[in-house]
Amino acid sequence: MLITSLLIFILKYEDNKWCKIRLFLLFIPLILLDITFVSSNLIKFFDGAWYVIAITMLVCYLIYVWRRGSEALEKQKFIPSLSLENFLEENLRKNQNRIPGLGIFLCSAPFKIPTAFALNLKHNKYLHNKVFFVSFIVVDSPYYNTDERFSIHEFGNGCYQIIARSGFMQKPSMHKLLNWLERKQLLEDNEDISVFLSKGVPVKTKSKNLTGLSENVYYFLSLLSQNATDFFRIPHHKVIELGVRYEI
């Protein structure tokens, strides 16, 4: 109850629509009441409450380790300063070699340069005849209307940005997206498709991000984490993963 009150207070405090004086008048009594309840239950600590607190601290520690490791990955990603459209124009001039088929690159946000795309151009120096940049977006509602689920933006030269929206109770699916592209006649039957993904590969070093036990814990958590291929239900035989080694 105390944590819920504090989180709601912080959320509303950052919302400029709320009057700060009224906010304090409303939440200070609630927080003081919750602190009273917490204080009265402290006597149960040595009677077994320590066990629940220990589990909570362990979960908080795991969350902290995962966030620190993920931040280290984001800092070491190759992020060009250009926008996706300008990046495409520049590389189309440099790398005019196009190969048959469709290349799909997943990007975390629309019109953002995917790490896999930048790595593929840097090392392989080629583009497919058609290139789709796909962003799966989860909206705040539990379900999203199927007819308005997908949208597309054309860059030209066979390159498109596709946004696939879904509710938080729905599972994103590459298969449904491919079916929609076929209905829009943007995808031919039996077309050769390659889906490019970037995968972070943690490397233990003496960096200050994580040290000692935390390094080993993060490495273990990364092994347990679900990969994008399974999460987005992408056919395994169409996936090409480009590893990004980063220091933790």
pLDDT tens-digit readout, 198-216 = 888 888 777 677 878 888 8
Domains of the chain, by residue range, sit at: 2-76, 84-247
Q: At residue 69, what is the residue type?
A: G
pLDDT band (50, 70, 90) for residue 71: confident
Q: Which pLDDT score, from 0 to 100, does residue 231 have? A: 87
Instruction: Express each pLDDT in 42-60 by its tens digit.
Output: 888 888 888 988 999 999 9
- CA dihedral (91, 94, 98, 101) in degrees, to 10, reads -20
How confident is the model over 236-244, as a mean pLDDT?
87
Q: Which pLDDT score, from 0 to 100, does residue 147 have? A: 67
Of the given ranges (25-29, 37-41, 69-73, 204-208), which has the lowest mean pLDDT? 204-208
Which residue did the predictor score with more confidence, 74 or 132?
132
Q: Which pLDDT score, from 0 to 100, does residue 135 have? A: 92
- Whole-model pTM? 0.76
Percent of the chain topping pLDDT 90? 23
Predicted confidence (pLDDT) at residue 81 exceeds the cutoff of 80: no
**Is there a contact between 201 and 219 (Cβ–Cβ < 8 Å)?**
no
Of the given ranges (19-23, 95-99, 104-108), which has the lowest mean pLDDT? 95-99
Of the given ranges (37-41, 208-212, 221-225), which has the lowest mean pLDDT? 208-212
* Residue reference for tokens 């800092």: 75
pLDDT band (50, 70, 90) for residue 122: confident
pLDDT band (50, 70, 90) for residue 79: low
Which residues, 6+ apart, have CB-to-CB distance to 202 below 8 Å?
A: 69, 73, 218, 219, 222, 245, 246, 248
Predicted confidence (pLDDT) at residue 184 exceeds the cutoff of 80: yes
- Report residue 171 as tokens: 């599972």
Strands 150-156 and 159-166: antiparallel
Beta bridge partners of 144: none
Whole-angstrom CA distances from 112 to 37, 79, 139, 211 are 48, 9, 18, 32
- Sheet containing 98-106: give its strands across: 150-156, 159-166, 127-138, 98-106, 193-203, 239-247
